[in-house]
Structure 1
Amino acid sequence: MNERILAPTPRLIDMDAYPRRAFFNYFKSFDVPVHSRTVQIDITRALDYVKKHDLVFSLVMTLLVTRAANQVPEFRQRIASEGIEEYDFVVPFYTMLSPFKVVAFILGRHADNFATCYEANMAIRREVQAGQIPGFDLTNQGHITVSVVPWYSFTAITMPYSRHHASVPVVSIGKFYQQQSATMIPLAIQSNHALIDGYHIGQFLDCLTSYLADPETHMALTV
Structure 2
Amino acid sequence: MQPIDLDNWPRKQHFELFKNFSQPYFNVCVRLDAQALYDYCKTNQYSFFQAYVYCTLKACQSYDSIMLRIIDNQPWLLNSVRASVVELTENDTFVFSYFNSANDFKEFANHASNVSKKAKQQPLFSDAFAQTEGQADLIHISVLPWLNFSAFSHAFSEGESLGIPKFVFGQFDKHTGTMPLAIDVHHSLMDGLHVAKFINTLQGTFDTFCKG
Q: TM-score if structure 1 supplies the norm length?
A: 0.85
Note if contact 1:96-1:105 (Cα within 8 Å) is conserved in structure 2: yes
Deviates more, 1:111-120 or 1:69-78: 111-120
Letter in 2 for 1:206: N
Match of 1:31 among 22, 25, 30: 22
Match of 1:95 among 65, 86, 95: 86
Letter in 1 for 2:108: C
Change (3 A) 1:149 1:22: same
Q: Per-residue displacement from partner, 1:129-172 (whole Å, max 9, x unpaired)?
A: 5x245522235310110101111110000112333245100000
Deviates more, 1:63-72 or 1:144-153: 63-72
Count residues with an aligned counterpart.
206
CA distance in 1, matches of 2:164, 2:103: 21
Note if contact 1:34-1:166 (Cα within 8 Å) is conserved in structure 2: no
2:10 pairs with 1:16: no
Note if contact 2:147-2:171 (Cα within 8 Å) is conserved in structure 1: yes
Match of 1:147 among 138, 142, 147: 142
Correspondence for 1:175: 171
Q: Per-residue displacement from partner, 1:28-62 (whole Å, max 9, x unpaired)?
A: 12221110010011111100011112222222211
Letter in 1 for 2:184: Q
| Structure 2 stretches lacking a partner, 5+ long | none
Correspondence for 2:193: 199
Q: TM-score if structure 2 supplies the norm length?
A: 0.89
Deviates more, 1:68-77 or 1:131-140: 131-140
2:200 pairs with 1:209: no
2:184 pairs with 1:190: yes
CA distance in 1, matches of 2:161, 2:19: 13
Q: Aligned Cα RMSD in Å?
A: 1.8
Note if contact 2:55-2:209 (Cα within 8 Å) is conserved in structure 1: no
Letter in 2 for 1:188: A
Instruction: Give matches, 1:49-60, under 5 Å.
Output: 49-60=40-51
1:123 is paired with a residue whose SS is helix
CA distance in 1, matches of 2:84, 2:165: 11
Identity of aligned residues (%): 23
1:94 is paired with a residue whose SS is strand
Match of 2:32 among 41, 61, 66: 41
CA distance in 1, matches of 2:207, 2:95: 30
Match of 1:73 among 60, 64, 67: 64
Match of 1:109 among 93, 100, 111: 100
